[in-house]
Structure 1
Amino acid sequence: MISRHSRTRRAAGLTAALCAAALTLTACGSDDSSSGKSSPSSSSTSPAVSASVTPSGSASASATPSASPTKAAKTITNLDAVSVTGNPGKSPTVKADWPIKIAKTTSKVLNPGTGRTVDSSATVNVNYVGINARTGKSFDSSFTRGKATSFSLDQVVAGFKKGLAGKKVGDRVLIMMPGTDAYDSQGGASQVGINKGDSLIFVVEIKDVAYKTAEGTAVTPPAGLPTVTVKNNVPDVKIGDAKKPSSLVTQPLIKGAGRKVTAKDTIQVKYRTWSWSDDELIEDGYDGSGVSGQMSGVIEGWKKGLVGQTVGSRVMLVVPPSMAYPKGNATPTIAKGETLVYVIDILFADEASS
């Protein structure tokens, strides 16, 4: 008999795929499983400032400065020299005696929030404007695009990550970073007017952050379903005497307080997969910060079962083969005609970038 974990595989899909509209250093690629049909999406990305973004200049709050100031940049040691005005929710006005620079990434909260704390590797949803401290000009602004953007802090420039780690949802944060924490390693970002050595300023409004695990109100499942137990916040499933259903079963185990998942979303989840026929754990995606992908690319059972569930929830799905892998799957190994049981923590959801 195969031991319970001998067939276990790390989550083969939903590889880091949050495709931000801006802040992208690399284009979306693919990381398909051998079958090309794993439950997750196959796209991936690395958000940071995009070389394709056209500098708007609209968020700069000084008079129109010269693109190439003739005077040397003044080194500042704190953010008192930078003025930010305007109401939260609107594009801010940023002023300083340009050009300026800073030796170490520094941040401060301009308007405090009261939400969950941002972990250094968290996925966040933010509005922001980026200012080149050499010219005083904006090189990127989600305010100008009219839509907040989401990305993992593991995929942005170091200064952005340092500036947001430890802050809270609802905070409006001023960050200034030296070129060494921005684009010096790439020689700058000439497409958006950033030279090597330029310090950058960001004003960031933190709108949301991914959960680390499911969090909310416990839901008692009805009798007759597989039994879910939890140890060290990791779920386990025992099929036992449960009767195999012929149609999809969607059973919330924890009801989260976040937004409802839509069919257009990119989601971040932790999940585990069991085969009904032999009660085996066949896929384990519960470590780390979870995996991400677009709802448009998941199996039919996930599309039907997760739409309408709330972020923060833990959901058990019992998925018949017709809504999963009717012909079987190579990675993870799934037999033809197998019914699958998933336990899924919904950590984050945001409308996918077009």
Structure 2
Amino acid sequence: MLRRSRPVAALCAVVLLSALTACGSDPEEGTADEAGSATGELSEVSFTGEVGEGLTAEWSAAVEQPEETRVETLVAGDGEEVAEGDTVTAYLYVGNGSTQEDVFSDYDNGAPESIPNDEQVGEVFLEMMDGATYGSRVVAVTTPTDLLGESAESNSLGLGLDDSVVVVMDLVEKQETSPTPSSDEAEDASPDSQPTVESKGGDPVGLDFSGLEEPALDAPVQRLVIEEGDGEPVTASDTVTVDYLGAVYDADAPFDESYSRGEPLVSPLSGLIPGWSIGLDGVPVGSRVLLQIPPAYGYGTQGSPPNIPGNATLWFLIDVVAAE
């Protein structure tokens, strides 16, 4: 629940770290639609279904592994061009072009991805979004190594290193972004501005928001140190061991907590939502803190269904057990 939201997580985290220089589509290989945009096709496989509604692959022959990634537009959408820094709501499909098998589909999984058009997604996806318009269906023919980088050899998709990979991205729409907080640093909060901790048997079980108004979405991270420890201060590069409880505004119950499980969370701060790094930076080990985290530093406009809606401010009670 606390992890950073990453596109293509079901594929492999290293997809986001792949580094290749892909070639763009050649407009001479496609046919022009009425708007003059190039559209292409693969002779070995065809795709049916409307963009954003469904996708079915029909294979007629194996796809030869390319020497370098190639990208083509199968359907040219009539929306705006995808801009650098956009977060794109997209459906992804991955097929093994050598065995002519489907290996991953967001349509089968029932939900699209939130894909940022920036360097964190890797060059294959950057090339697929480069110059594309919303409403488009774009295909890349690539290799496991180009797509998955160092994890290609032991990937969870069952792709062999000599296989070809067919990746389809349906660029549905630009995702709204959460308001930018007025500061990227934590502010010290007063107790009367924050919910109180509800406990049972000595363990926290919830937060009481009585008398508190929901904060503005652009409010910075708010930090209330309930008990200050005497250990070393936490840094953003640390791996932390913590007990925690998280809730949204006026919730009847927390959306997640570790106290009842008896197993603290152990994780690099860099792998958690940004609000944790901002709020815990400088906090001594042994402290109990309450963090109020705006959606931009939490789960953004997409939230984390079913318990965290989009654009939700988050509250976390955190006991910092250790940091190294």
State the TM-score, normalizing by the size of structure 2: 0.48
**Larger relative contact order (CA 8 Å, sep ≥ 6):** 1
State the TM-score, normalizing by the size of structure 1: 0.45
The structure with the largest helix share of the pair is: 2
